[in-house]
Amino acid sequence: MQLRRVCRLSVILLLGACQSTGQPDRLREQRDTAPKPIQLKVAAHEQPAQRSGIPVGSSITGDFNGDGVLDTASLRIVKEGKFDEEPYQLAIQFSSAIISPIKASYDHEDLVLINEGDLDGQPGDELSVFAPPNHGCSYTMYTYTCKANGWKLLLEPFLIATACDPLSAEDLQKRIFREDNHIYFLNADPNDEAGSLFREKAKLKN
């Protein structure tokens, strides 16, 4: 009798396990083919040490208005978007009430903020937004500067090829730099399988 109970219990457990792990093929296909947002993974331990504290991420710090005080910039969703239908309305807000927010539309909410330091030779740190596309692996870089009349684009937006590989925070912070009173950015050579970087001169936004 005891052996019969053990066998019956084993059969029940086996059936339960099969029912919990099995899924209809149609549901499995829907899950596998559903569009997935492209996300950039920035590991916290990869963030380089900077005077600004947190230079790369969804929340960063910097002296964005040039008053000598570090402020925090963080992302906020103003209006949800829909994949391939409606962009996200986002705002980059600041801990200081005297710094106006940056409001713009993007394909995704998974943006990465970058403190670029001083790019234009004027007081204050410039801020870049690394934005993923709905399709493909080329991200768009938007670089803003804070002036007396508010935020404006410092550079013409440009594409950064990623080959669908995540970029580290250190890599992102090195992509835009100032040299000899000119602003440059680094991009991957599409003809080089090794993905070597080459320098391009950035175009100032009129």
- How many degrees, rounded to 5, is the angle at CA 101 between CA 174 and CA 58? 45
- Residue in this structure with the two tokens 């890599």, named with its chain if needed: 171
| Domain map (residue ranges) of the chain | 2-33, 44-201
Report the C-alpha gap between 167 and 172 in whole angstroms: 7
pTM (2 d.p.): 0.73
Residue 55 near residue 114 (C-beta atoms within 8 A): yes
Retrieve residue 126's tokens: 């410039």
Report the C-alpha gap between 177 and 183 in whole angstroms: 6
**DSSP string covering 115-174:** EEE-SSSSSS-EEEEEE--SSSSEEEEEEEEEETTEEEESB--EEEE-TTPPPPHHHHHH
Report the C-alpha gap between 58 and 74 in whole angstroms: 6
Report the C-alpha gap between 188 and 158 in whole angstroms: 13
Residue 171 near residue 43 (C-beta atoms within 8 A): no
One pLDDT digit (tens) per residue for the chain, 206 residues: 433 443 343 433 333 333 333 444 433 333 343 333 333 333 333 333 344 467 999 999 999 999 999 999 999 999 998 888 899 999 999 999 999 999 999 988 889 999 999 999 999 999 999 999 989 999 999 999 998 889 999 999 999 988 888 889 999 999 999 999 999 999 888 777 777 899 999 999 97
